[in-house]
Amino acid sequence: MTTTELTGAEDVAWNLSDLYESGDDPRLETDVDEAESAAAAFRNRYHGEVAGLDAAALVAAIEERERIESVFTRAIYYAHLWFATDMTDSQRGALVAHLTEKGAAVETQLLFFSLELADLGDEAAEALLADAALERWQHWLRSVRKYRPYLLSEPEEKIMTEKVVSGFAAWDRLYDELLGAIKVDLDGEEIGFEEAMSKLYSPDRDLRGRASEAVTAALEPGARTRTYVFNTIAVDRSIDDRLRGHETWISARNLANDTTDEAVQALIDAVVSRYDVVRRYYTLKARLLGLERLSFYDRMAPLAEDPEQMAWDEARELVVNAFADFSSETGGIVERFFGEAWIDAPPRDGKRPGAFCATNVPGVHPYVFLNYTGDRRSVLTLAHELGHGLHGYLAAPLGLFNASTPLTTAETASVFGEALTFKRLLAEEDDPKRRLNLLAGRIEDSIATIYRQVAMNRFEDAVHTWRRDEGELSPEKFEELWLGTQADMFGDSVDIGGYGSWWSYIPHFIGTPGYVYAYSYGCLFALSIFRKYELEGDSMVEPYLDLLRAGGSKPPAELAEMVGLDLTNPDIWSSGIDALEAELDEAEALANEAGLG
């Protein structure tokens, strides 16, 4: 990465004083102490008593529970945000470690509350839920209680929780350590795994090929151990599911994601049935690169030799205008992020890589963290994170519990904001070649989020199912299932020779089984709302903003209803794919017109 080029973002730093003055601010320790003593008082008052509370008393308890968490969350957000901008500062690291420990202690004090709520008899719970006083907490209470059919007795739950440390969590950590230790020997030089993978973005095909061979060689030594870890995680999941009574390997994940096995299967089916989009795109890309057929290591190759850079001020104008075009309210909110120093923009020494938005910071406003370099991706990342920021800003009045969204709807506003910005970027570009590059980048992002994640879910499904039905898998079996599920997606469009062991560096398979489909779910959900906005125009503005204002206070199906979408209808998934296909049509047309490839 060349960071020598100036973008004008170099001095764009956030102002954290809306939270605390500094890491030494005495208010920080006062807040943490207050949260701790309030948690102890909460436990004294309510432990063993939850079943006896009437609706009004329960509301008071939930509100106090939320208040304690809000106070603590503010403090720990500050620590994380402060640390993210300079990870080499040991004072900042120490504050994060200190507050993480305090947080675990506070959490342990409060854990009983959800357990006792889940333990309420159905009749008693329904009577409470029917009480008008609890209306605001309906969804929150139902979310806590949805685990009820799968909970074990208290002593059993205690053993399960304690044994995680030496079971699941231990295997997960071992896997992380194994991955972290992988070194790649590229052209006689030893480099880190991430650095080797970054060579796949090089315009030099020969380098991409050598890097991929080097990665394959580096994945070889620990393959048997990593295979063993995945086998163990799979059997651990199957034991948990059997004891708790979950129907399939992914049912527990779906429950946590506020969705159902049927809805997720409908998503998977819709995406799998449209794998042709992926094949068409990679066939086009091979043509544009002048290749007979892509190898798996060509998928990330750049189409343009010297990509355009966008200065910070230009990106700001583009993104603010894109949001303002949608509605003056959203434009005004997004402008505040720039005007009031809620964004930390440039890459700096010691700063954490990547980008994120601290969406629900109680009592304040969201903060956006970037490493802005001015390339196309970082402009869209700015729009993405500001979408999260808009969502958090609009939902903030609901309070922490009701504003927080599950994974499945967390990406709604971010994907939508990216789509708005991309459309504007494309509209401002007349040059056919540059239009084609923009579209290709957009399609590749969509393939990575929608299709790659579903193909990985098919691999996970095959592994877990095999482990349950047939027993332990050999390394060869893993390769066979990986290549099989990848080939289902690529067809003949991509040569996957040499790709067999590349499943084994993806941490999600181990750390959060079943996780990956949520990317596809969230992206297609947002794109189908965007598609509806494109078709119906301004009449969608207020319903969409109401959906954002509702945060996580309703289940995804009810949020979808607010914008006239039906989550039980599989069309919701195909309409997002239609939007992608329209972009692909245009890219093909541009390539043909320009006689490219």
Residue nearest Zn ion, Cβ-based: 414
- Cβ–Cβ contacts within 10 Å for residue 423, how many? 15
Beta carbon of residue 319, minimum distance to Zn ion (angstroms, whole number): 15
The answer to whether residues 501 and 219 touch, using CB atoms and an 8 Å cutoff, is yes
Q: Which is nearer to Zn ion, 231 or 414 (CB)?
A: 414
The answer to whether residues 563 and 594 touch, using CB atoms and an 8 Å cutoff, is no
- Cβ–Cβ contacts within 10 Å for residue 432, how many? 14
Q: Which is nearer to Zn ion, 425 or 526 (CB)?
A: 526
Beta carbon of residue 523, minimum distance to Zn ion (angstroms, whole number): 10
Q: Which is nearer to Zn ion, 414 or 501 (CB)?
A: 414
Q: Is 295 helix (H, G, I), strand (E, B) or coil?
A: strand
Beta carbon of residue 88, minimum distance to Zn ion (angstroms, whole number): 26
Question: How distant, in Å, are the alpha carbons of 162, 316, 327, 452, 544 from that of 417?
Answer: 42, 13, 12, 22, 12
Beta carbon of residue 385, minimum distance to Zn ion (angstroms, whole number): 7
Q: Which is nearer to Zn ion, 145 or 384 (CB)?
A: 384
Give the pair of three-digit tokens for residue 416: 């939508």
Q: Is 191 helix (H, G, I), strand (E, B) or coil?
A: strand
Beta carbon of residue 366, minimum distance to Zn ion (angstroms, whole number): 12
Tell how strand 294-295 and strand 494-495 pair up: parallel
Q: Is residue 349 within a helix (H) or strand (E), and if so which, with residue range?
A: none
Q: Which of 517, 470, 464 is nearest to 261 (CA)?
A: 517
Q: Which is nearer to Zn ion, 295 or 528 (CB)?
A: 528
Beta carbon of residue 414, minimum distance to Zn ion (angstroms, whole number): 4
List interacting residues with Zn ion (CB under 5 A).
414
Beta carbon of residue 384, minimum distance to Zn ion (angstroms, whole number): 6
Q: Which is nearer to Zn ion, 99 or 380 (CB)?
A: 380
Q: Which is nearer to Zn ion, 323 or 459 (CB)?
A: 323
First and final CA of the chain: distance in angstroms?
A: 28
Beta carbon of residue 173, minimum distance to Zn ion (angstroms, whole number): 26
Q: Which of 459, 576, 446, 578 is nearest to 516 (CA)?
A: 459
Q: Which is nearer to Zn ion, 199 or 391 (CB)?
A: 391
For every residue of 208-272, DSSP letters joined together read: HHHHHHHHHHHHSTTHHHHHHHHHHHHHHHHHHHHHHT-SSTTHHHHHHTT--HHHHHHHHHHHH
Instruction: Please list the residues that pair with 368 across neighbouring strands.
Output: 343, 357
